[in-house]
Amino acid sequence: MSGAASHPKAGAQPMRVANGNAVDTSRTLHFTFDGRRLSGHPGDTLASALLAHGIHLAGRSFKYHRPRGILSAGPEEPNALVELRDGARREPNTRATVAELFDGLVARSQNRWPSLAFDALGMNGLLSSVLGAGFYYKTFMWPASFWEKVYEPAIRRAAGLGRAADEADPDHYEKATTFCDVLVVGSGPAGLAAALAAGRAGARVILCEEDSLPGGRLRAEHMTLDGAPAADWVAKACQALAAMPEVTVMTRACVFGTYDGGTYGVLERVADHKPVPAEGEARQRLWRIVARRCVVATGAIERPVVFPNNDRPGVMLAGAVRTYVNRFGVAPGRRAVVYTCNDDGLRTARDLARVGVKVAAIVDSRPEGTGAGAQVARDCGAPFFAGASLADVYGSKGVKSVLVRDHAGQAHNIACDLVAMSGGWSPNIALTTHQGARPDYREDICAFVPSALPPGMVVVGAAAGVFDTAEALGQGAQAGQAAAALCGFETALPDLPRAEPASYGIQALFHALKGVAAAKKGKAFVDFQNDVTARDIGLAAHEGFVSVEHLKRYTTLGMATDQGKTSNVNALALLAEVSERSIAQTGTTLIRPPTQPVAIGALAGAHRGPHFKPERLPPTHQWAMAQGAVFTANGLWQRAQWYPRAGEQTWQETVNREVRTVREAVGFCDVTTLGKIDIQGPDAAEFLERVYVNAWKKLPVGRARYGLMLREDGFAYDDGTTARLGENHYVMTTTTANAGGVMAHLEFCHQWLWPEMDVQFISVTDEWAQIAVAGPKSRDVLRQIVDPEYDLSNEAFGYMAARSVTVCGGQEARLFRLSFSGELAYELAVPARYGAALAERLMQMGAPYGIAPYGTEALGVLRIEKGHPAGPELNGQTTAHDLGMGRMLSTRKDFIGRVMAQRPALTDPARPTLVGLQPLCATDTLAAGAHLLPQGALATAAADQGWISSAAWSPTVGSWIALGFLANGATRLGEVVAVHNPLAGTVVNARVVSPVFVDPEGERLHG
């Protein structure tokens, strides 16, 4: 049980001064920050709860380790990044302003050592002359050896942010796709109105709100709608939306990216606000939302003002101060100075005064007589400075006083513990620019607004530069109505509440410095997260980095978790000033997704660990498991690699035994994974003629033939056997690896090259369990399996015969006399559901003949012994000529690759061609990848004459053997070459031999 008893030291909340509209003060939650026990209430964020205790100091800055406080009340927060939770769930760089409080939350400040209050690296501030703009590039250039040993560890310790968890993430993440007519992003006045309008029309609407509660600024401001608190109307609007069956309101759901085709990326923080997710609940869910129309109502982000020491804890955004007061009932200070360039900022003074905070001064950058400052100051009983600025802030871990420079240049030191600053509002336009649009600068509101929009998108409310609530409501409703209408859902506009008018009256204020580059005394921060100062921007411009994109890379401005949400516009304004251009001329950097950090776990979803990719299991998989087989991945397929027996010490011993079993008795192997394509149609034979290099029309029904396919560039693509089952019916086999590719290739040839051909393809790879039965006793075993009416004698069913048979008393099957091993061999195919039973039956009936299953390893040895090319030989760089199949190329027909295969370079006898290799010393090892050189030659590229593609220990030959490609190979049989293996550091002498090591006459095959 949690509660006061178990948290005896949980402190009171001295700064909780009012009832916030989103906080339930009837319940208390306990949490720790840097080990200190604190309390808060449901509805609090970590930031609001800290501020309720008067705690501003939340972390240290990235580069200079300066004490930093809470700047904002939302996801734009650059400073208050903390580590949440412990152990495997420890999560770094979490913004305290969006971390919802829960009972038992453990939070820690980051980037401080040994403690937040005393940080040994705070002296980085004293080194600031070397840590300025581009310091990475300037300071650590040389000596190179210092980088790894000295600079990098030092930087990693000094800079960087929080610590990732050391253990695997125990939580579950989900991905999902959904579709809607109208996606509304943001649930402030404009977003709610849009959702209401589109929803009542009957459109499928999804409203995404990043916050835990809908309402946006309606919760943050002291304002009324229809004469009642705005939060009441929010609740009513949400009730109305909940009653609409086709409207979905998703909270804690951040739309982080706009993608092509009306696709939006959304991160839903399903259980981030809980200590641990509920049983079966995802921690986070990554949505892909495909929307026909999108209404962006993402509001605006307030800008800080750049002035010396503007990063002191206690210097906050004015709108954020109001959020803490109105939403959370927390006063972020006792004596406040409000610094603004617009009337909106002045609301802060009123809200603070209302909850009893002393307003020590209102500093308005606008000249006397502009804006409502004088009136507000009178109402709040505060000194008023028009045409004034803040020249400095004093206090290190908190604000003690500020230096106000009045319109006449006179300095006034004013004691305070809170500075609420407003440089005006920047529309939150990120989603409108993800596809490359550059926003337009509007002088009248000192802000960038969307220009060209992605197809289907409209922008409303503050995101469109409309800061008046009534106007935003109306614009939102119209946009929602129009979006629904474009999807075929028409209706009247919803009733909208009356809103109080509010003035804005902004006059540009980006910095309070005498000049950008002149700021010498006290750091004036532009980007708090990356510790970029006004001086850095001046320096970068001075050094020639006057393009915004260059400025960003050079100073690191706008990077990291906040992506410059509070800093980019100020930085542009400063750059514009030093480079003597307008802001519009200076332009913005391109904004790319995501707008908020997205955890890798969310992107991976359920596809992690062994389920990173699916597995394909052949029909005998369970059976092979029961046999104790060892498996290997062959693409997605899981295949039995070998079947160890009791007493076998090494895998080599097992494989040798399996090979000998095939050579001397009989073995069987599941070869279902080979691609099988059923080809039918009047033009089937002609089609095969065009995709294979060799001839097919004369292949009789009931026979199979080896076929080689080229790519159109003349290189070998794939091979396999194709059997003619009927006049217009063939079944093609492909390599396992290319099964999908060959299918696509055949479809391409048919649909695009030769649409007039009448032929149909369908994959039957999974339909048939195909089992190779190989060895001198294979016929004897099959005699026990295949029903007696089928004559399996060599005369009746010779090499390359193919036919339908029945097995085991009437079960339909296909039998092919094919051999990959060079032995008398068959492939027997039964419907896949009978595959496992067939394996069992083969074991049973083959027992008297010494049958054993063999895996892919033995399969590989057998085919190398027989000189059959496989994947390592058909590697995309070899030609039919290289493979010794040059004479297969028909000259009487057109086929894919025909023309380009004739290029002289592809048939040059000097090209490396397929050979066999055998070491002179039987105990020497050969390895695939080794290079072939003339004996005694230096191991240089110039002397290189080829390579080994496949190698294995051959129990049949009694030594290592290999297949390889050797220049002029066909003419060099008997020659000795050096096999150079730079990985193993060995050079072995090997004799060039025929690639067919076993039964070169083919007697066994045909026996």
Partner 1 sequence: MRLTCPFCGSRGLEEFTYRGDALVRRPAADTSLQTDAQAWTDYVYLRDNPAGLHSELWYHGVGCRSWLVVTRDTRTHRVDDVRAASAVAAERSGGAA
Partner 2 sequence: MADKLHATAPIGAEAISANGLRLALAPLAEAASLGAFAGSGRAELLACVRAEFGVDLPQTPKAVTTADGLVTFLWCGPSQWLALAPAEASGPSGASSGGQGLMARLRASCGAVCALSAQGDSRTALRLSGPGTRAVLSRLVPVDLHPRAFRAGDVALTLAGHIPVIVRHLDDQPEACELLVFRSFAASLFHDLHVAMTGHTS
Contacts to partner 2 by CB under 8 A: 172, 174-179, 204, 279-282, 288, 290, 605-609, 611, 613-619, 622, 637, 672, 678, 680-682, 729, 758, 760-769, 784-785, 787-788, 807-811, 830-838, 841, 845
Q: Which of 607, 903, 922, 929 binds partner 1 (CB under 8 A)?
A: 903
- Is 134 exposed, middle or buried (CB count within 10 Å of its CB: 0-12, 13-18, 19+)? middle
- Is 177 exposed, middle or buried (CB count within 10 Å of its CB: 0-12, 13-18, 19+)? exposed
Distances (CA, A) of 542 to 329, 517, 578, 634, 744: 46, 9, 8, 58, 57
82 closest CA partner among 47, 114, 54, 52: 47
455 binds partner 1 (CB under 8 A): yes
Tell me how many degrees the CA angle 239-242-247 measures, rounded to the nearest 5.
135
Site of tokens 């990693």: 156
Rounded Cα gap, residues 838 and 835, in angstroms: 5
Q: Which of partner 2, partner 1, none interacts with 172 (beta carbon under 5 to 8 A by kind)?
A: partner 2
Element (H, E) at 462: none
Sign of CA dihedral 468, 473, 478, 479: positive
Who's near 875: CB < 8 A, 6+ residues apart? 949
Q: Which of 89, 288, 608, 991 binds partner 1 (CB under 8 A)?
A: 288
Sign of CA dihedral 334, 340, 345, 346: positive
Choice between 35 and 788, CB closer to partner 2:
788
Tell me how many degrees the CA angle 977-978-983 measures, rounded to the nearest 5.
145
Q: Which of partner 1, partner 2, none interacts with 617 (beta carbon under 5 to 8 A by kind)?
A: partner 2
Residue 788, token pair as written in the block: 């007696």
Can you state the angle between helices 343-354 and 318-326, rounded to 10 degrees? 30
Choice between 160 and 876, CB closer to partner 1:
876
757 binds partner 1 (CB under 8 A): no
Element (H, E) at 736: none
Q: Which of partner 1, partner 2, none interacts with 843 (beta carbon under 5 to 8 A by kind)?
A: none
Q: Which of partner 2, partner 1, none interacts with 455 (beta carbon under 5 to 8 A by kind)?
A: partner 1
Site for partner 1 in 937-956 (CB under 8 A): none
Choice between 547 and 763, CB closer to partner 2:
763
Q: Which of partner 1, partner 2, none interacts with 259 (beta carbon under 5 to 8 A by kind)?
A: partner 1
971 binds partner 1 (CB under 8 A): no
65 closest CA partner among 134, 123, 148: 123
Choice between 580 and 894, CB closer to partner 1:
894
- Is 369 exposed, middle or buried (CB count within 10 Å of its CB: 0-12, 13-18, 19+)? exposed
Least Å distance, CB 823 to partner 2, is 24
The interface region with partner 1, picked from 63-71, 159-167, 571-579, 895-903 by CB under 8 A, is 895-903
Choice between 302 and 678, CB closer to partner 2:
678
Least Å distance, CB 540 to partner 1, is 30
Count other C-beta atoms under 10 Å from residue 74's C-beta.
Answer: 24
Q: Which of partner 1, partner 2, none interacts with 608 (beta carbon under 5 to 8 A by kind)?
A: partner 2
Site for partner 1 in 253-282 (CB under 8 A): 259-263
Who's near 215: CB < 8 A, 6+ residues apart? 187, 188, 192, 230, 231, 234
| Phi-psi category of residue 57: left, alpha or beta, with phi > 0 → left and psi -120 to 50 → alpha | beta
Rounded Cα gap, residues 717 and 711, in angstroms: 5
CB of 306 within 8 A of CB of 512?
A: yes
Choice between 692 and 834, CB closer to partner 2:
834
Least Å distance, CB 183 to partner 1, is 15
Site for partner 1 in 408-447 (CB under 8 A): 435-436
902 binds partner 1 (CB under 8 A): yes
Q: Which of partner 1, partner 2, none interacts with 894 (beta carbon under 5 to 8 A by kind)?
A: partner 1
Least Å distance, CB 685 to partner 2, is 14
899 binds partner 1 (CB under 8 A): yes
CB of 427 within 8 A of CB of 188?
A: no
Q: Which of partner 1, partner 2, none interacts with 271 (beta carbon under 5 to 8 A by kind)?
A: none
152 binds partner 1 (CB under 8 A): no
Site for partner 1 in 176-205 (CB under 8 A): 177
Site map for partner 1, 663-702, x if CB under 8 A?
A: ----------------------------------------
712 binds partner 1 (CB under 8 A): yes
Beta strand segments in 920-1002, E:
931-934, 946-954, 959-967, 976-981, 986-993
DSSP letter for 789, please. Answer: T
Count other C-beta atoms under 10 Å from residue 153's C-beta.
Answer: 10
Least Å distance, CB 259 to partner 1, is 8
Least Å distance, CB 352 to partner 2, is 45
The interface region with partner 1, picked from 114-122, 693-701, 751-759, 926-934 by CB under 8 A, is 751-759
Choice between 141 and 168, CB closer to partner 2:
168
Site of tokens 């191991």: 939
CB of 153 within 8 A of CB of 147?
A: no
Q: Which of 611, 748, 794, 1002 binds partner 1 (CB under 8 A)?
A: 748
CB of 297 within 8 A of CB of 186?
A: yes
146 binds partner 1 (CB under 8 A): no
929 binds partner 1 (CB under 8 A): no
Rounded Cα gap, residues 459 and 482, in angstroms: 12
Least Å distance, CB 438 to partner 1, is 14
Q: Which of partner 2, partner 1, none interacts with 753 (beta carbon under 5 to 8 A by kind)?
A: partner 1
Choice between 712 and 975, CB closer to partner 1:
712
Q: Which of partner 2, partner 1, none interacts with 944 (beta carbon under 5 to 8 A by kind)?
A: none
CB of 53 within 8 A of CB of 38?
A: yes
The interface region with partner 1, picked from 65-73, 329-337, 753-761, 786-794 by CB under 8 A, is 753-761
Rounded Cα gap, residues 596 and 588, in angstroms: 19
Q: How many angstroms from the chain centroid is the CA of residue 342? A: 41
330 closest CA partner among 3, 73, 31: 73
Tell me how many degrees the CA angle 937-941-942 measures, rounded to the nearest 5.
65
Total residues interacting with partner 1, rule: CB under 8 A: 29
Choice between 138 and 611, CB closer to partner 2:
611
Q: Which of 114, 245, 755, 788 binds partner 1 (CB under 8 A)?
A: 755
Q: Which of partner 2, partner 1, none interacts with 809 (beta carbon under 5 to 8 A by kind)?
A: partner 2
Rounded Cα gap, residues 928 and 767, in angstroms: 34
451 binds partner 1 (CB under 8 A): no
Choice between 284 and 435, CB closer to partner 1:
435
Who's near 908: CB < 8 A, 6+ residues apart? none
Q: Which of 106, 165, 290, 604 binds partner 1 (CB under 8 A)?
A: 290
Q: Which of 104, 594, 740, 871 binds partner 1 (CB under 8 A)?
A: 740
Q: Which of partner 1, partner 2, none interacts with 637 (beta carbon under 5 to 8 A by kind)?
A: partner 2
Least Å distance, CB 280 to partner 2, is 4
900 binds partner 1 (CB under 8 A): yes
Q: Which residues of this protein are in contact with partner 1, per CB under 8 A?
A: 177, 259-263, 288, 290, 435-436, 455, 712-713, 740, 743-744, 747-748, 750-753, 755-756, 894, 899-900, 902-903
